[in-house]
Amino acid sequence: MVNVGINGYGTIGKRVADAVSLQPDMKVMGIVKAHPDYMAFVASKKFKIFISDSKSKKLFEDAGIKVEGTMENLVDDSEIIVDATPDDVGKLNKPFYETHKKKAIFQGGEDHDLTNLSFNSYANFKDAWGASYVRVVSCNTTGLIRTIFPLTELGKVRVRANLVRRATDPNDHKKGPINSIEPDLKIPSHHGPDVRSVIKDLDIQTMAVKVPSTLMHVHFVNVTFDKEVSRDDIIENWRRYRRLMFVSGKDEVKSTSQLMEIARETGRMRSDLYEIVLWKEAISLKGSELFYYQGIHQESDVVPENIDAIRSMMQLKEKEDSINETDKSLRIGELAYGR
Ligand SMILES: NC(=O)c1ccc[n+]([C@@H]2O[C@H](COP(=O)([O-])OP(=O)(O)OC[C@H]3O[C@@H](n4cnc5c(N)ncnc54)[C@H](OP(=O)(O)O)[C@@H]3O)[C@@H](O)[C@H]2O)c1
C-alpha cells in the first residue's frame, strides 16, 4: 500500500484524491488546501486537511475545519506527492520535496524542464519506472497523445491540429472570455511542442483558440501518413485503447453538451469523462490524409494518467496491469457502444 499525499485540492487535486482512494494499492494520507473555504470543509469530511501556510491555521480552525498539520507534515507522512497546485507553483514546491527525499508528480501547468520526464500512460509508462519526478502533461496534450500515439503504430505521421479550448472550468466565476473568441497568437501554440515532450521527434504543429464554454475542448486533427493505411485499420487500432471512446451524431451525440450529459446520465463521479471522444462518422481518410474531431473533458482526462504515474514511479505494476486496474476503478471503457 503506497501512501500518497495530494498537494492542492482544486479541479485536478480533488479528482486525483478520489481516484487514489479507489485503488487497492494506494492510500490518501491527506490533502493540502491554501484557503479555509467551503471546499476545504467538504474535503475535511473525507480526507485529513493539511495547510500550505502555517500562518493560516487559525483561519481554518475558526471555520471549524480540523487541521492535521502543514504541507511539510503531509510530505513526511507520504511516500509520493501528487502536486496539483496552480500553474508554476509546483516548481516552487519541488526543492521542498527534494529536501524531504520524496517522489512527486507535477501537472501540465509546469514546464517539461522541471522533471525532464513528461508522462502519458500509453506512450511512455515505462520511462517513469522508479523515477523520482514526473510531469503528467496537460489535458489538451493528453488528448492529443491518446489518439496520435496509436496512429504512430501504423506508420510515420505528420500532424496538424487545431484546438478549440474551453474558456475556463465550470466552477470558475472569474476568467473568460464570455463573449468573444480568443486566438492564441503564438504559433505554433505550446501544445505541439508539449506532445513532443512525450512522443519525441513527432512532426506536429498546433494552433488554438479559446471560446466561451466551460464544458470541454474540441480538437480538429489532420494526420498525414507516409504510407497507405485504411480507415478500418485506423479505427480498429484505436478500438484497442479503452481511454478512447466513439460516439455518433446518428445517436444524437453532436456536441460537448451531449457528451457531458452521457457522463451525468451514467452516474460518473462529478460527471467526469476520462475518455477522449471521437465522432465516428467524421473520421475521414482522403488518400493518406486522415481528418477527425476529438472531444476532451479537461477536468478529468489526466486523472487516470496520475494514477498510472504513481504505479510506474513506485514500481507497483507493469503498464497493462496498471492501466487495467485504473480503468476498472474509474469505469473507463464502460460507456463504449457499438456504432
Ligand atoms: N483545470 C484543468 O482543466 C486542468 C487540466 C489538466 C491539468 N491542469 C493542471 O493541473 C494543475 C492544477 O490545476 P487546477 O485547475 O486543479 O488548479 P486549481 O483548481 O486552481 O486548484 C489548485 C489547488 O492548489 C491549492 N494550493 C496549494 N498550494 C497553493 C499555493 N501555494 N497557492 C495557491 N494555491 C495553492 C489551492 O488551494 P485553495 O483551493 O485553498 O486555494 C487549490 O486547491 C495546474 O498545473 C494545471 O495547469 C489543469
Question: DSSP characters for 5-70?
Answer: EEE--SHHHHHHHHHHHT-TTEEEEEEEESS-SHHHHHHHTTS-EEES-GGGHHHHHHTT----EE
pLDDT (tens digit per residue) in 78-118: 999 999 999 999 999 999 999 999 999 999 999 999 999 99
Report how far residue 73's alpha carbon sits from residue 102's, in angstroms, rounded to the nearest whole number: 12
Ligand 1 pocket test: which of 12, 272, 302 has the largest number of ligand atoms within 8 Å of its C-beta?
Answer: 12
Closest ligand 1 atom number to CA of residue 90: 45
CA of 203 to the centre of ligand 1 (A): 31
Pairing status of strand 289-296 against strand 284-286: antiparallel
The amino acid at residue 171 is N
Residue the block writes with cell 474509474: 330
CA of 109 to the centre of ligand 1 (A): 9
CA of 279 to the centre of ligand 1 (A): 31
pLDDT (tens digit per residue) in 40-71: 999 999 999 999 999 999 999 999 999 999 99
Q: Is 97 helix (H, G, I), strand (E, B) or coil?
A: helix
Q: Domains in the chain, ordered, with CATH?
A: 2-137+302-330 (3.40.50.720), 139-296 (3.30.360.10)
Is a pLDDT exceeding 90 seen at residue 338? no
User: How remote is the C-alpha of 304 from its chain's centroid?
Assistant: 7
Pocket lining: 10 vs ligand 1, CB cutoff 6 Å: yes
pLDDT (tens digit per residue) in 163-214: 999 999 999 999 999 999 999 999 999 999 999 999 999 999 999 999 999 9
Report how far residue 116's alpha carbon sits from residue 239's, in angstroms, rounded to the nearest whole number: 31
Pocket lining: 168 vs ligand 1, CB cutoff 6 Å: no
Closest ligand 1 atom number to CA of residue 93: 31
Ligand 1 pocket test: which of 11, 92, 138, 172 has the largest number of ligand atoms within 8 Å of its C-beta?
Answer: 11
Q: What is the largest CA-CA distance in the chain?
A: 67
CA of 90 to the centre of ligand 1 (A): 9
pLDDT (tens digit per residue) in 293-330: 999 999 999 999 999 999 999 999 999 999 999 999 99
pLDDT (tens digit per residue) in 238-274: 999 999 999 999 999 999 999 999 999 999 999 999 9
Report how far residue 286's alpha carbon sits from residue 224's, in angstroms, rounded to the nearest whole number: 9
Pocket lining: 65 vs ligand 1, CB cutoff 6 Å: no
CA of 75 to the centre of ligand 1 (A): 18
Contact 169, 14 (CB under 8 A): no
Q: pLDDT-based confidence at 339, cuts 50/70/90? A: low
Helical residues (DSSP H) of the chain, grouped into ranges: 11-21, 38-44, 57-62, 71-77, 90-99, 121-124, 139-152, 191-196, 231-239, 256-265, 303-313, 319-330
Taken in order 86, 88, 90, 96, the sign of the CA dihedral is: negative
Length of the chain: 339
Residues that are catalytic: 139
pTM: 0.97
C-alpha cell at 311: 504505479
Q: Whose CA is nearest to atom 15 of ligand 1?
A: 11
Using alpha carbons, select from 289, 258, 290, 284 the residue that is nearest to residue 271: 258
